[in-house]
Amino acid sequence: MAVPQPEGRARKRRVVIADDESIIRLDLGEMLTNLGYEVVGEASDGAVAVELAHKLRPDLVIMDIKMPGMDGITAARELTKERLAPVLLLTAFSEQALVERAKEAGVVAYLVKPFREAELLPSVEIALARFAEFQMVEKEVHNLKDALETRKVVEQAKGVLMESQGLKEAEAFHRIRKASMDTRKSMREIAEAILLTHQLEKSS
């Protein structure tokens, strides 16, 4: 059953899928369509996924971490560098080392295979929300490297707020951003202060 689109969203979110296994692309495409997203392109390797992202300007690219030729991490780095689209990476449990590499490449969210439709929706929405946050963070800094470093610190601070104050991810980000605006300090400075306070509380 297709999920109705939220009010105020004029169009469906457009998605490009990249996986070297056609059966996974087919299953994923059906799940996305059922959830109300529009699959606008498919690829079997990272290079084609990047090419499609250039051409189609999707809202999201969902890619397998391991593909022939250009893998998902390398493709994600290209997409992040050019600010083309957020990347939701499909991984296996055994790929934790690769996931760490993927973080450095700017990947915003992960989904462990095999997955169900019920797990796909929150992962997609998290990827879209984190990319929007990343774009806000990037406005404060001068280059991509600083933006990625800042995002890493902000992600850690969000985790602290979520754990210590029972906030949802979006609420934690909003609190950091509001504190940044209220104090006229950067989000990175606010995030670092949250982390420092947390460390002091743990060690006292």
Provide the pairing of β-strand 60-64 with 87-91: parallel
Q: CA torsion sign, 171 to 177 to 178 to 179?
A: positive
CB 111 within 8 A of CB 119: yes
pLDDT-derived band at 43 (thresholds 50, 70, 90) equals very high
Boundaries of domain holding 53? 14-128
Whole-number pLDDT of residue 1: 43
Express each pLDDT in 64-74 by its tens digit.
988 888 888 88
- What's phi and psi for 159, nearest 5 deg? -60, -40
The last residue of one of the domains, among 94, 128, 162, is 128
Residues 32 and 120 in one domain: yes
Residue 154 within a domain: yes
> What pairs with residue 41 in β-bridges?
16
Residues 116 and 36 in one domain: yes
Residues 22 and 115 in one domain: yes
Residues 122 and 34 in one domain: yes
Considering its fold, how many domains does the chain have in total?
A: 2
Residue 4 within a domain: no
The neighbour count for residue 144, using CB atoms within 10 Å, is: 15
Residues 108 and 61 in one domain: yes
Asked whether residue 198 carries a pLDDT value surpassing 90, the answer given is no
Residues 101 and 153 in one domain: no
Express each pLDDT in 13-33 by its tens digit.
899 999 988 898 999 999 999
CATH of the domain at 183: 1.10.10.10
The last residue of one of the domains, among 69, 101, 128, is 128
Q: Which residue has the higher pLDDT, 62 or 112?
A: 62
pTM exceeds cut of 0.85 = no
User: What's the rounded mean pLDDT across residues 174-186?
Assistant: 88
Residues 147 and 176 in one domain: yes
Q: Residue 137: helix, strand or coil by DSSP? A: helix
User: What's the rounded mean pLDDT across residues 70-79?
Assistant: 86
Asked whether residue 148 carries a pLDDT value surpassing 90, the answer given is no
The last residue of one of the domains, among 69, 100, 128, is 128
Which residue type is seen at 85?
A
Whole-number pLDDT of residue 10: 53
Whole-number pLDDT of residue 16: 95
Q: Residue 122: helix, strand or coil by DSSP? A: helix
Residue 1 within a domain: no
CB 168 within 8 A of CB 162: yes
